[in-house]
Amino acid sequence: TEKITSSVGNEYEGNTEDQVLLEGSSVGSLSSKGVPTLAFPSISTSDFQFNKEKASDIIVEKVEEFLKKVGNVRLVLVDLHESNILSLVRSKAEQKNIDSKRFSTSVGDITRLYTRGGLRCNVIANAANWRLKPGGGGVNATIFSAAGPALEAATKERAGSLSPGKAVVVPLPSTSPLFKEEGVTHVIHVLGPNMNPQRPNCLKNDYDKGCRILGEAYSSLFEGFASILS
């Protein structure tokens, strides 16, 4: 796993070095400038209709807990627009004095953070569905489509389905455009709690259960990220 560690643990500027990194050769010999970075969307707050005020509390609490446990990593919460969830999370993170170099928010498509914004993220999280299938809209559809069929095949090798609150780490094959163009080495699928009656396993506004499951989902996500680094 040494190769995985070094490819996750390095961040490079400049295309020549990137090319070397992405071909997968002499990865470990390159000097490490960057910090392992996980970009993640706000799980459950769009299609799954989870309350954003409650979700933002959970995100900030789980981020704070995780950053206390690990060393040199960076977490980035991403959304397509300057949304309510981003501003809620930003102000709550500020109140808690969370280091903005280690946790920040970013506006953009999570599958284009490097090519459109210069933000290198080695690992991205997906707000998945329980079947771990492409499509269905939201960030899931975008990630599967940007990653190509390689992601679906690699996902199938790891898991056939996911329970709410759980995550599965999928190494992205180097043939995937998301790997080649964006430098993403792993996708972590996360299944959050669902409050949408049109979707499976609706919790019918049971926020005791919902908050517990969303907390578990972020714990599983961050543990999955940590497992790639070790």
Pick the binder of ligand AR6 from 138, 171, 173, 177 (CB under 6 A): 138
Alpha helix stretches (DSSP H) within 10-112: 15-23, 52-69, 84-95
User: Residue 181, interface with ligand AR6 (CB under 6 A)?
Assistant: no
Q: Which amino acid is at 210?
A: G
Burial class of residue 127 (count of CB atoms within 10 Å of its CB; 0-12, 13-18, 19+): buried
Closer of 21 and 143 to ligand AR6 (Cβ):
143
Number of helices followed by number of strands (H, E) in the chain: 9, 6
Which residue's Cβ lies closest to ligand AR6?
Answer: 138
Residue 182 touches ligand AR6, criterion: CB under 6 A: no
Q: How far is the CB of 63 from ligand AR6 (least distance, A)?
A: 16
Residue from the set 183, 192, 210, 224 that interacts with ligand AR6 by CB under 6 A = 192
Rounded CA separation 3/206 (Å): 44
Write out the DSSP string of 141-200.
HHHHHHH-HHHHHHHHHH-S---TT-EEEEEPPTTSHHHHHH---EEEEE---B--TTSS
Task: Say how far residue 213 (Cα) sits from the centre of its chain.
Answer: 17
The reply to whether 10 sits near ligand AR6 by the rule CB under 6 A is no
Q: By CB under 6 A, is residue 56 in contact with ligand AR6?
A: no
Provide the mask over 87-126, with x wherever binding to ligand AR6 is found by CB under 6 A and - wherever it is not: ----------------------xxx---------------
| Residue positions counted in the chain | 230
Single residue of 136, 161, 163, 174 touching ligand AR6 by CB under 6 A = 136
Nearest to 204 by CA among 50, 19, 94: 50
Distances (CA, A) of 118 to 12, 63, 104, 146, 185: 11, 23, 15, 17, 16
Smallest distance from the beta carbon of 118 to ligand AR6, in angstroms?
Answer: 16
Report the residue from 10, 37, 46, 56 that binds ligand AR6 according to the rule CB under 6 A: 46
**Positions 63 through 82 that interact with ligand AR6 (CB under 6 A):** 78-80
Which range of residues in 35-43, 154-162, 170-178, 216-224 is near ligand AR6 by CB under 6 A? Answer: 35-43
How far is Cα 188 from Cα 171, in angstroms, rounded to an integer? 8
45 part of the interface to ligand AR6, by CB under 6 A: yes
Residues near ligand AR6 (CB under 6 A) are 41-48, 78-80, 85, 109-111, 127, 129, 136-140, 142, 192, 199
